[in-house]
Amino acid sequence: MSRIVYVNGAYVPEEEAKVSIFDRAFLFGDAIYEVTAVVDGRLVDFDAHLTRLDRSLNEVGLTHGMNHEGLREV
C-alpha cells in the first residue's frame, strides 16, 4: 500500500511525488525548521506556530504559498 504525501499543493501517492531539480531547497539546502507540540492529536497553539513559520520563511525569502486556513486544513 502506498503512502499519501503532500507536495506542491496536492496530495499524491508517495511514488508520484516529485521535486524540481531547480527547487531552492535542492540547489542550496534552503530549509526552515519549525516545531510545535501535539497533545491528543491536536497541535498546541497552532496560530503561534504559523506566526513563527511565516517569520522564519520571510527571513530567508521563502513562502509556503498558502494562507493560514489552508495550512490548518492540511
DSSP H helical ranges for the chain: 24-28, 46-59, 68-73
Q: What is the pLDDT of residues 10-20, one digit of tens each?
A: 889 999 999 99
Domain spans in the chain, listed from the N-terminal domain onward: 24-73
50 and 20 Cβ atoms separated by less than 8 Å: no
Kindly report the pTM of this predicted structure.
Answer: 0.63
Grade residue 52 by pLDDT with cuts at 50, 70 and 90.
very high
Q: How many CB atoms lie within 10 A of CB 46?
A: 13
**C-alpha span between 56 and 68 (Å, rounded):** 15
* HSE, side-chain direction, 13 A CA sphere, residue 52: 10
